[in-house]
Structure 1
Amino acid sequence: MKTIASKTIAFNGKFFGAAPTGVHKVAEQLVAATDALIAGQAGSGLDCTLVVRDRVEIPRYRNISCVRESRWVRRIHRIAWEQCYLPLARRRDFILNLCNLGPLLHRDSATMIHDAQVYSAPESYSLPFRLWYKSLYFFIGKRHKIIFTVSEFSKAELVRYGIANADKIVVVHNGCDHVLQVQPDARQVAALSLKPRRYVLALANTQKHKNVGILLKAFASAQLSDVELVLFGNATQADFEGLGHVVPPNVRFTGRISDAELVGLMTHAGALAFPSLTEGFGLPPLEAMALGCPVIAAPLGALPEVCGKAVLYADPFDADAWRMNILAVLNDESVRQSLISAGRRQAGGFTWRQAARSMFETVKAVSG
C-alpha cells in the first residue's frame, strides 16, 4: 500500500480561538502529543503543519510548523473558511480534522467524530444544530478516507446510524495524563469554603443526556445535607431552575474555571459524580482517577469501556443509588482507598502519546 509519508499533514486548527470545549481539549492534546512524537523515532516521516484561522495565542511547537492566515482570510466566516478556503489552500496536503467536522470537498482527509449524540440524544441539541451536523456527518463519513473516533462504543454508534462503515472507522482512545502536568490551584476550594473530601464534583451542564438532575434529587436527601455538590462549568442555578429542576441549598456553582482550578477541586474532592446517559468517551472521570479522586458513574455509553472496574456504578434513574454510593465513598475509607488505587491504574492506560501514535500509524498507511 502506498503511504503519505512524503505528504504534508495539515491539522485543521479552526478550534484555536473558539470557545473551549472537551472536544477542543482533545484536539489540543493530540497536536501537542504529535509534536512530541515527531521528535522521536516513532514520528519519523511525519511532516506536519497547523493551519490556524484566527490571530490567537497558541502553544509553541518544536516540530510542527504553524500557518497563520492573513487579515482578509480571517474575515471569512468560520464555516466558509473550513468548507471552501481550507481545502483550496491545502489541496496538496492530507487534512486532519479533530473536532467532528471537516471540509467536504477534500477527500484526502481524516476526521475525528467523537460521538453520534445528535442521533442518540437529539433533545440535547437545537434542530438547526442537529440538521447541520447530520448533513455533514453523512458526507464526511462517505468521502473522507478515515473516520477516527474515541471509543468502541462510539464506533458502534457511528455504524448504527449509517455515518460510516466499520472498516473505515479507527478507534483512538483519549489520553488523560495531561492533568498530571497541571499545577493545582485551590482558590475555588477556599472561595467556596469547601471542606476537603466533603464535597462531590459534577458538570454544570443542562443537556438532557448529562442527567445532572438525578444528582440534584440525590442531594435533596437529608443524609447528604452536610455534603456539598459542586457543579463546575457554564450553567447556572437559574439555568437549571428554568428547566424545572429544584436546586437544593447544598449545591454550589463555580461558573467557568481554569484547568488549574478544576485540578485543584478534583484533588480535594470526596468524589466525582458522572451520571451521563450516553458518552462518546467521558474524559472527566479519567482525569479525576488520574488525580486520585474516586468516581461514581452511570454504566452507560462508553463509560464502562473507559472506566472499567475502577469506579462505582449507579443506576442513572435512581437518586437513592447515587446517595448510597456517595455516602459509601465519603464515609468508608476502605472503599475510598480501593477506588483511588484502581482508578490510578485504570487512568495509567490512557496516554496522549499512545493516542498520537495510533492515529499516525493509521494516517501513514492510507494511500495518497
Structure 2
Amino acid sequence: MYKTIAFNGKFFGAPPSGVHKVAEQLIAATDALIAEQSGNAADYALVIRDSVKVPPYRKILCVQENPLVRRIHRIAWEQCYLPLARRKDFILNLCNLGPLCHRDCATLIHDAQVYSAPESYSLGFRLWYKFLFFFIGRRHKLIVTVSEFSRNELVRYGVASADKIVVVHNGCDHVLQVAPDDGQLATLKLTPRRYVLALANTQKHKNIAILLKAFAKPELKDVALVLFGGATKAEFEQLGHIVSPNVQFAGRVTDPELVGLMVNAGALAFPSLTEGFGLPPLEAMALGCPVVAAPFGALPEVCGKAALYADPLDANAWSQKIRAALDDEGVRQSLISAGRRQAGSFTWKRAARNLFEAVKAVTPA
C-alpha cells in the first residue's frame, strides 16, 4: 500500500492558465469528496515547490519544501526531486506532465494538440512535450483526459493505449460561486447584450482570425467584439490580422471580472479548430450567456445541442449565427435554457468522484 496519494503542485505559483484552473478545482473537489468518505484510511498530500498561498483543505495536507529545494528549477524539481521525495507515494499529476522515473503515477493529459496543431507551439515546446508524452503514456499506471475526443486523439497519436486512458470531464459550476464584477463594462464602455466575448489568443488553432473577419463586416458593425486574455492588438496586427474599430481588448481579467463580462454579454464566440474540452463555453452557459461555437474537437461533445455552430472557416456564417444569438429572442432564450441544463451536468463533484474511482482502481487496497 502506498504511504500517500500526492498531488503534484508544481503549478502553484506559476502564471494562471486554464489547465491550472482545472487542477485547482479538481484538488478542491477531491478534498471535499474525501471528507465525505468516512473511514477512508488513505492519506493525501499536495506537494508544492514554493511557499505560495494555496487554498485551505480539510483532508489534503499541504507539504511545502524547504528554502534550498525552492532554488531548484521547476523542471528539475518535478523530474528529479519530487519522485525522490515521494518515492513511496502514488503521484497525481494534473497539468499534462509528470516525473518520468516514477511509475506509480496518474497523469491528466488535456489534449493532443502538440500533434494535431503543431503550428500553435514553438519547436522546443513541441519536442519537450512529445518526449515526455511518449514515456508518460508508457510508464505511468493511468492516463486521464477530459473528453472522449481527447482520448481518441491520444490513442491516434500513440501516446497511450485506449485501455489505459480514463475520461474525466471537467466541471464548470465554480463560476456560480463567483460574485460578478461589472467594472469592465464601464472601463470598456460596453452596452449589455451588445457585445460578444472571445479569447484573446493568437494560437492558430484558436482561430480568432475568423472572428476578426466577421466583425469587420457591415452586419456586425454595431456590435463590439471583446477579447479577454493575454494577447494584445499589436500581437494580432503583427501576424497580419486586421483589427477593426469595434474590437476591444480587455486584457487579463480576474475571475469576478470575467463572470461580470459573461453575464452581460450577448454571446460567447468560440471558433477553435480543435479543443480538448472547451471550458469557457460551459462557463458561459452556466451563467446564461448564449454560445456560438465551431463544431470541431470536443466542442460538440461538451456543448451538445445547447450551442449554435458555425463553420470555422466562413466569416459570413459567424456573423449570421451571432446575429441570431443577439437579435432573435426565441433563439436566444432557447440557447440560455438549454445552456443552463447542459452546464448543469458538468460538476466538479462528479469529476472528482470519477477521478477518485479511477485512481483507486490502480492503487492497492
Per the shorter chain, which TM-score range?
over 0.9
Change (3 A) 1:148 1:344: same
Provide Cα deviations, 1:210-255, integer angstroms capped at 9, x if missing partner.
0000000000011211100000000000000000000010000011
- Does the 8 A contact of 1:42 with 1:357 survive in 2? no
Residue 64 of structure 2 corresponds to which residue in structure 1?
A: 68
Residue 173 of structure 2 corresponds to which residue in structure 1?
A: 177
User: Distance between the aligned counterparts of 2:306 and 2:191, measured in 1?
Assistant: 25
User: Distance between the aligned counterparts of 1:225 and 1:179, measured in 2?
Assistant: 31
Residue 101 of structure 2 corresponds to which residue in structure 1?
A: 105
User: Please, which of 225, 230, 234 is the counterpart of residue 229 of structure 1?
Assistant: 225
User: Distance between the aligned counterparts of 1:360 and 1:195, measured in 2?
Assistant: 44
* 1:200, distance to aligned residue in structure 2 (A): 0.1
- Report the secondary structure of 2:77's partner residue: helix
Residue 310 of structure 2 corresponds to which residue in structure 1?
A: 314
Unpaired runs of at least 5, structure 1: none
User: Distance between the aligned counterparts of 2:101 and 2:307, measured in 1?
Assistant: 43
- Does the 8 A contact of 1:281 with 1:302 survive in 2? yes
- Report the secondary structure of 2:362's partner residue: coil
User: Distance between the aligned counterparts of 1:334 and 1:183, measured in 2?
Assistant: 28
Amino acid at match of 2:10: K
1:36 and 2:32 matched = yes
Identical columns (%)? 77
Residue 161 of structure 2 corresponds to which residue in structure 1?
A: 165
TM-score with structure 2 setting the length: 0.98
* 1:43, distance to aligned residue in structure 2 (A): 8.5
Residue 281 of structure 1 corresponds to which residue in structure 2?
A: 277
- Does the 8 A contact of 1:38 with 1:46 survive in 2? no
Change (3 A) 1:43 1:338: farther
1:106-121 aligned at under 5 Å gives the runs 106-121=102-117
User: Distance between the aligned counterparts of 1:300 and 1:44, measured in 2?
Assistant: 41
- Report the secondary structure of 1:54's partner residue: coil
Residue 342 of structure 2 corresponds to which residue in structure 1?
A: 346
Residue 195 of structure 1 corresponds to which residue in structure 2?
A: 191
Of residues 300-309 and 218-227 in structure 1, the stretch that sits farther from structure 2 once superposed is: 218-227
Provide Cα deviations, 1:138-170, integer angstroms capped at 9, x if missing partner.
000000000000000000000000000000000
Residue 124 of structure 2 corresponds to which residue in structure 1?
A: 128
Moved over 2 A (4+): 41-46
Change (3 A) 1:339 1:309: same
Amino acid at match of 1:229: L
1:266 and 2:262 matched = yes
Provide Cα deviations, 1:30-58, integer angstroms capped at 9, x if missing partner.
00001110111389344210000012111
User: Distance between the aligned counterparts of 2:139 and 2:217, measured in 1?
Assistant: 52
Residue 20 of structure 2 corresponds to which residue in structure 1?
A: 24
User: Distance between the aligned counterparts of 2:293 and 2:272, measured in 1?
Assistant: 8
User: Distance between the aligned counterparts of 1:157 and 1:43, measured in 2?
Assistant: 39
User: Distance between the aligned counterparts of 1:185 and 1:283, measured in 2?
Assistant: 20
Residue 322 of structure 2 corresponds to which residue in structure 1?
A: 326
Work out the number of aligned pairs and report it: 364
User: Distance between the aligned counterparts of 1:51 and 1:96, measured in 2?
Assistant: 10
* 1:63, distance to aligned residue in structure 2 (A): 1.1
- Report the secondary structure of 1:137's partner residue: helix
User: Please, which of 283, 288, 295 is the counterpart of residue 291 of structure 2?
Assistant: 295
- Report the secondary structure of 2:241's partner residue: coil
- Does the 8 A contact of 1:8 with 1:94 survive in 2? yes
1:133-148 aligned at under 5 Å gives the runs 133-148=129-144
1:238 and 2:238 matched = no
User: Distance between the aligned counterparts of 1:345 and 1:202, measured in 2?
Assistant: 22
User: Distance between the aligned counterparts of 2:363 and 2:208, measured in 1?
Assistant: 45
Provide Cα deviations, 1:67-120, integer angstroms capped at 9, x if missing partner.
001100000000000000000000010000000000001000000000000000
Provide Cα deviations, 1:242-274, integer angstroms capped at 9, x if missing partner.
000000100000111101100000000000000
TM-score with structure 1 setting the length: 0.98
- Does the 8 A contact of 1:299 with 1:314 survive in 2? yes
Change (3 A) 1:42 1:131: farther
Aligned Cα root-mean-square deviation (Å): 1.0
User: Distance between the aligned counterparts of 2:195 and 2:119, measured in 1?
Assistant: 30
Change (3 A) 1:163 1:211: same
User: Distance between the aligned counterparts of 2:193 and 2:42, measured in 1?
Assistant: 46
- Does the 8 A contact of 1:269 with 1:293 survive in 2? yes
1:248 and 2:244 matched = yes
- Report the secondary structure of 2:357's partner residue: helix
